[in-house]
Amino acid sequence: MKTNFSNEGTTQSDEQNLIFARAAALADSGIFKEYLIYEDNGECWFAGGIVRSITVFATHIESNTSAGKTQRQVNSENLCQVLQQELNTWDGEWQACGWSSFEFAYALKSPELLTEEEKAGQEALLFICEPKITVSLGKKPTLIKSKSSELEQQVRLILENAVVRAHVPYKNVEIPDNINYKNAVKKSVSNIQNGLLEKVILSRKVPLHFSPDYTATWLQGRSMNTPARSFTMNLAGWKITGFSPEIVLSVNENRKVTTEPLAGTRRLEGNPDTDQKIFDELLRDPKETHEHAISVRLSVDEMTEVCEPESVHVPQFMVQKKRGSVQHLASRVCGTLKTEYNAWHAFESLFPAVTASGIQKLAAFSEIRRHEGSSRGLYAGAILKLDHTGVIDAALVLRSVMSKGDQHWLQAGAGIVLDSTPERELTETSEKLASISPWVVEKTS
């Protein structure tokens, strides 16, 4: 089934285009084997190289510094606690980045669902590193942080010579029909009818038979998307470019926690009047509004576990958010951390995002594992940006092209509830894939 949905796109200024071009030039410079570009509302943060790192497995946490590698044993009950203890050993005013796989949630909450390799500590579930250099673009003046003056000079030269790139041919990946996905939806609806759970997000993969150019895909896809966050990364075994429609959470310097659940989806046609009519239809759809309301309810419950109860509130409820080829019902839930808790307690409570897992989460985990057949990896996980003050920003990994080893793929899911139909949920995955599939650029060298 080929999708031809119109992406709303963005109007980017010359200044904005140059910011993106500079970030991309750093990624493609060849100086950094590993890097991340993390973009929030037009401001790009580039992280290149690795000074020290922490890798989390189901059985242990491995720290890698200039002094060598160390390991600490962990289990599902103390995993985040030990992670915070390891971060507490880092000196200085550090900034860090990284990623969390979806299966990190299994290690925390349902270790029996891990694969044998994951249970044996052979698969990394979360990775955090301090970069050799960070560059903040979009703020004036450009802020560069590094302990190496030589590296800083190299970066400045790249920034000075960066030019806006012309668009290059892209693949416009065709999205096939998928009878297995429709069968999985049908079975999950049956389990919901039987009271085993209220909602589950089932996803499907679309394999790519070519190697993407991740930076070029980010540049082109960003010009046609309106994400909450965007990113392109080559870090600890994963390559990914994505246009995330929402955050898992953010924790600011005042310990305010925010999560922004999106649930309920319709396509965008590109005509304002038509798109508004489609949104009005979405807002009147009892299946979609029910799916959204129960997602917000769970977000509030999870926030209340780690935040002062009286601080938890919903400042936005069921507003319209346009994200690339689709529009969503969107809400925002906020709270203030309890004195005894830190950002990782909030992450543990809210991860994975309810809009990418389900309700009840433990039952949804089993349903996902039963039907999807393989680990999700970064899909529905998070790309992380954090620092020594306890600030953390975690983008939900959706609308992405990704690779591990020599495998490259797209992946998208839909929320299955009592009133779901296999045909509509398959269509929704295609609508979401259209936020990334038309803009994938093939690597030529």
**DSSP label at residue 212:** B
Give the other-Cβ count within 10 Å of 317's Cβ. 13
Q: Which residue out of 34, 39, 123, 246 is catalytically annotated?
A: 246
What does the DSSP assignment read for 272-340? HHHHHHHHHHHHH-HHHHHHHHHHHHHHHHHHHHHB-GGG-EEEEEEEEEEETTEEEEEEEEEEEB-TT
Is residue 442 helix, strand or coil? Answer: strand
Token pair of 132, please? 């050799």
Which of 281, 292, 224, 235 minimizes the C-alpha distance to 436?
A: 224
Token pair of 69, please? 């590698």
Report d(CA 73, CA 58) in Å as an integer. 9
Report d(CA 402, CA 378) in Å as an integer. 8
Q: Which residues pair with 353 in a beta bridge?
A: none
- Residue 242: CB partners within 8 Å, gap ≥ 6? 227, 230, 231, 232, 383, 395, 397, 398, 399, 400, 401, 402, 436
Q: Which residues pair with 401 in a beta bridge?
A: 241, 410
- Residue 183: CB partners within 8 Å, gap ≥ 6? 422
Which of 394, 412, 253 minimizes the C-alpha distance to 323?
A: 412
- Residue 186: CB partners within 8 Å, gap ≥ 6? 422
Is residue 193 helix, strand or coil? Answer: helix
Tell me if 439 sits within 8 A of 221, measured CB to CB: yes
- Residue 404: CB partners within 8 Å, gap ≥ 6? 237, 238, 239, 377
Is residue 427 helix, strand or coil? Answer: helix
CA distance to 58, 102, 353, per residue, from 124 (Å): 8, 11, 20
Is there a catalytic annotation at residue 246? yes
Dihedral (Cα; 437, 402, 357, 422), 10-degree rounding? 40
Indicate which residues carry an active-site annotation. 246
